[in-house]
Amino acid sequence: MGTNTQRKDGRIGARIAFEQKPDSLQIRIQQQIPSAQMSLLTAWLVVWLGLEALVVYFWIQDPSQGNAWLGYTIYSAFWAFFAFRIGKVWMWRTRGQEVITVDRRGLSVAMAFGQRGLPDFFAHGSYRLPSKIQENPQQILRTFEKAFWSMGGETLQFESGKRTLVMGKQLDEKDADALLKLMKGGCKRLSASTD
C-alpha cells in the first residue's frame, strides 16, 4: 500500500475534502477536471449541438424528399441520446460532486449537481463496510469509464442486502486507499456510538 495522502487540513489528494465531527463524517469528492480536458468536452458538446442545427437547417429546406421524415426521426433519436449523455457529463464536470455522510443513524451517498442530489441512505447494521473494487484488466469498459468524458470509474463499493452501491469516481489508488481507511474508521466509530 502506498503512502497515506490524508492531511490534517481535511483533504485527501486534490479532489477530496472531509470534515470530521464527534457525531458525523462528511466527505465531498469534487468532479472537476483540468481546463484543457474541460475545453475539449465543451467543444465536443458545441460541435454536437451544431451538427443538429445543421441537419435541421437542411431538412427544413426540403422535407418532402422520399423518406426524409423517417430518416430524420431515426437520426434525431440517436442524436438526442448522445446529446443528453454529453450534456450530463458536462454538467457533472462543471458542478458535480459525490457527497458521503456517515452519522449515528447510518451512511448516505449522493451524486449532487451543485447542492442538489438525492442521497441513498443505509442504516448501520444494514450494510457491509466499504471495500475497494477489484480491477479486472480484461474488462475493456473499465478503461472507458475512467476517461474524462465519462461519469463512471468508481473505485469503492459497499453492499446492503442484494444491492451494491459504488462511489469514489476516478480516484487514483493512493486517494482511494486513504478514503477507504477514513470511511471504515468513520463507520466503525459512529456505528459503535449508537450501541
* Position 32 pLDDT exceeds 80: yes
* Position 77 pLDDT exceeds 50: yes
What average pLDDT does the chain have? Answer: 86
pLDDT in tens, 165-178: 999 999 999 999 99
Dig out the grid coordinates for 74 from the structure.
431515426
- The whole-number pLDDT of residue 2 equals 42
Radius of gyration of the chain (CA): 21
- The whole-number pLDDT of residue 18 equals 95
* Position 8 pLDDT exceeds 70: no
Q: Residue 185 — very low, low, confident or very high, per pLDDT cuts 50/70/90? A: very high
Q: What is the 3-state secondary structure (H, E, C) of the chain?
A: CCCCCECCCCEECCCEEEEEECCEEEEEEECCCCHHHHHHHHHHHHHHHHHHHHHHHHHHHCCCCCCHHHHHHHHHHHHHHHHHHHHHHHHHHHHEEEEEEEECCEEEEEEEECCECCCEEEECCCCCCCEECCCCCCCHHHHHHCCCCCCCCEEEEEEECCEEEEEEECCCHHHHHHHHHHHHHHHHHHHHCCC
Dig out the grid coordinates for 189 from the structure.
466509530
Dig out the grid coordinates for 49 from the structure.
449541438
Tell me which amino acid residue 167 is.
Answer: M
Dihedral of CA 173/179/182/185: which sign? negative
* Position 93 pLDDT exceeds 90: yes
- The whole-number pLDDT of residue 138 equals 65
pLDDT in tens, 117-137: 888 999 988 998 999 988 776
Dig out the grid coordinates for 28 from the structure.
465531498
Q: Percent of the chain at pLDDT above 70?
A: 88
Domain spans in the chain, listed from the N-terminal domain onward: 11-32+97-192, 35-93
Q: Residue 161 — very low, low, confident or very high, per pLDDT cuts 50/70/90? A: confident
Residue pair 34/44 in contact by the 8 Å Cβ criterion:
no
Stretch 96-111: mean pLDDT, rounded?
A: 94
